[in-house]
A and B are shown apart, each in its own frame.
Chain A
């Protein structure tokens, strides 16, 4: 089947902080450059979810007059807290004893979704063509094997793949350079890393799942600018994770929880750990009398420098968390993602103008502050594989005494899908029932995400072996997809004494956790029809 073709100098896949930084910088460097950006969400920002305490360093470089341009970066951090939680108590850790990377006094509490919407406006004003609602579904290659561009998803197919009346074939976008900026576990990025062996000699990538809720709370409890993090309860010593509570503007609190996807117990339910966390006395008191107004979840990168793949290939670049530039101990990735996007634009400009090889991107990246940050942060996450207590002690030594300059690099030994232990060896976890005031179930939560996928379209969560969930994963791991999915896409149902695996793909919020954690890597996340997925507001 022949598809229509559009030619560009540069095509960027993904309208998050890294991709938007790239297109803006490209137009600043050369207004004549022909740039387009594809985004799978129905509008820019609708698939963006992040804490977010924002370090403005990259934004300062990209748009120094962002304050005059009325960027939605307004709430300066005024106060910081760090709490260790036990089941009923909390221990406040003095801020001056926190490593420098975890101090936030020059940063802002923002909605990254709103920042992206604003960045998109800046980009469009510079002449960038932005197409929301058009997922890039496949990579196109030249005969010499280099990346030629991408194709967008066909629209209007029924669930068996037949064309409906409204069928609109995808189209090919060809570019001199294609930039992949899909965010953590991008589905094209994943195939490129494999095809070009970009992760050769690197440690396996590490991931986490991050939850976020927005609450409107009582005025007297709200302290605009307060940033609080917690570690400890409800997670055990072996499970990596922690919470954030950010007091944003308009009496809102951004509340979230991140859990490392290298957890071992298949009975663990990240969603329920998050819900349970909110029942801790020091958290519950903030929320009581308030109202939950948003919910969402997204996988994030935790691997850091050891897991960072090669970021260039013939005809293409991998930027932001599609590669994995998040700084884990800093709990921040937006600034490094934007920086990697800026550098990508500079590299592309050299490439188009002076015919420099795209490998210049990695050279420029290694000379940047973003790389230096990742280098200094590299030993923190792997040290937590020894458990929370030893991890904290090591991190204190590494970050406070040596500032990340210890003369060795710890390794990530396992990919996250390899870490689950057999169900029969692990304790079941009894999670409390939701009270529908502070804690909720998945059904009422997914409702808040505004998620929808057009009816009667092909299932976008592909099983490599459709019998494996029941025949293998259920017995060995009690099918953990029932628990790691934050919106209950996966269910095991019993009908006439026969068990079957059900995929409610219309609820999928595009977090990619299943693609990462499925122990046999049996689930492949592919792009659904454009515009599907969550419709996040100010996440």
Chain B
């Protein structure tokens, strides 16, 4: 079995994201970037399945500018066998990402495609679903547990009501939740070995995919600042304020 894992380079989750003054986007110059956190879970799970002898090969793919290769190298350092970097400059929307991934799937012929449930930069939560539609494969989203059976997967999903367990046929798309596992650290020797693992570079334009944005971004701005709270002396005052000032009761 072969598992393809899609990983995305995003602004590190510890960085306070700053909106550009002209409202055209957020500041990314000299900002610490790293792998989208649930994508780390996706790689970890694929590598675990391989280590359990249930998969033969793990391929990590990323789409983006040259520096996105760091994300693939990191995946290679924690156990992926091969990397693919599809080069695109500028903003690329989930639909275009899905179409590129569709081409990669046709080329690599994996049995499973894993990825994070969503990326922490645009929070779209669309790519896995759209890829499943394009490929006409079953999908299991928000996975917090994956069991590989003979020709199917048993996946526990994090849903609003609690946990839902479903079975999907292979091939299948799985989008991963942060609760799925605890990603391992890359060790020094493995980081060095990762530098020698194969990393294929493809230009998105060569795949015949139209990556032009469908959505026009008009303006990016910071959310309005929250007003400071106040302390009330007693319940009566609270009720009075909720009634007369906040007008919520």
Contacts and interface: CB of A to CB of B under 8 A. Distances in A.
A155 B32 CA distance: 21
A131 B77 CA distance: 13
Contacts of A530: 185
A117 B14 contact: no
A522 interface: no
Contact of A166 (B21, B182, B188): B182
B217 interface: no
B30 A113 contact: yes
A168 B187 contact: yes
Interface in A110-130: 111, 113-114, 117, 129
B67 to A, nearest CB: 11
Interface in A1-16: 4, 6
A45 B30 contact: yes
A171 B30 contact: no
B126 interface: no
Contacts of B16: 447-448, 450
A502 interface: no
A347 interface: no
Given A4-B189, A166-B183, A535 B32 contact: yes
A290 to B, nearest CB: 11
A113 B191 CA distance: 24
Given A4-B189, A131-B188, A171-B189, A451 B14 contact: yes
B184 interface: yes
A43 B32 contact: yes
A43 B184 CA distance: 18
B17 to A, nearest CB: 10
B53 to A, nearest CB: 19
A46 B34 CA distance: 13
A116 to B, nearest CB: 11
Given A452-B14, A535-B12, A168 B30 contact: no
A530 B187 CA distance: 11
A216 interface: yes
Looking at A42, A165, A293, A450, the one whose CB has the most chain B CB atoms below 10 A away is A450
Nearest to A164: B182
Q: Is the interface of B mostly helix, strand, loop or mixed?
A: loop
B182 A155 contact: no
B192 interface: yes
Contacts of A46: 32
A6 B192 CA distance: 11
B189 A537 contact: no
Interface residues on A, range: 20 to 34
A42 B188 contact: no
A129 B14 CA distance: 26
From B18, B30, B34, B189, residue with most partner A Cβ within 10 Å: B30
A164 B185 CA distance: 11
B205 to A, nearest CB: 27
Contact of A537 (B31, B34, B187, B188): B31
Interface in A494-539: 530, 535, 537-538
Interface string A369-398: 000000000000000000000000000000
B15 interface: yes
Interface string A123-141: 0000001010010000000
A168 B184 contact: yes
A42 B34 contact: yes
Interface in B180-202: 182-185, 187-189, 191-192
Contacts of A134: 188
B182 A165 contact: yes
A373 B107 CA distance: 63
Interface string A216-236: 100000000000000000000
A450 B30 contact: no
Interface of A: 4, 6, 42-43, 45-46, 111, 113-114, 117, 129, 131, 134, 152, 155-156, 164-166, 168, 171, 173, 216, 293, 447-448, 450-452, 530, 535, 537-538
29 contacts: A4-B187, A6-B189, A42-B12, A43-B32, A46-B32, A111-B30, A129-B192, A131-B188, A131-B191, A156-B184, A156-B185, A165-B182, A166-B183, A166-B184, A168-B185, A168-B187, A171-B187, A173-B188, A293-B18, A448-B16, A450-B14, A451-B14, A530-B185, A535-B15, A535-B32, A537-B15, A537-B30, A537-B32, A538-B30
Nearest 4 interchain pairs by C-beta: A155-B185, A452-B14, A168-B185, A535-B32
